[in-house]
Amino acid sequence: MSLWINEKVKQGIIELKAVHGAAPIFAQEKNDKIRMRPLVDLTARNEITIKDDERIPNQRMILNSLGRARYRSKIDLSDAYFQTRVEPKDVDKNGFKSPFGCFVSKVIPQADMNAQGTFMRIMSVLFADYLGQFMRVYIDDILI
């Protein structure tokens, strides 16, 4: 955990800062069963957050529409939410506490209930000219 925190501080993604109501952080096993993913427990904050109405696209429909293509490609956006900055006035709402101090995240936390919808909306705006023609966005994947 300390290596991850030090890396994110150096990258400018998080910073050491004492904030009121900081959430606890824990490590969750990744799908490969080898690596761990640090996650902030945002359960309390998510309970009082207004839910985003962004709908996740139907995965089967996306795959069917791409199934007719001669060539297909999938781009998995690594650490997608870490590339999405939070408004500076809202950074203190992303506080988390660890054994190594209290920090704030300058990017969307993965456990934020609206992270998927926010990220997909950003991708939809960025790629509006291509969506439906030869490109689809599904959560943090770009399908061509």
CA–CA separation, 26 and 37 (whole Å):
8
% of residues, the chain, pLDDT over 70: 100
For residue 22, pLDDT beyond 90: yes
End-to-end, the C-alpha distance of the chain in Å comes to: 35
**Is the whole-model pTM more than 0.85?**
no
Give 97's pLDDT tier (boundaries 50, 70, 90): very high
pLDDT in tens, 29-73: 888 877 778 889 999 989 998 888 777 777 888 777 777 777 878
Integer angstrom CA distances of residue 58 from 98, 136, 139: 37, 11, 11
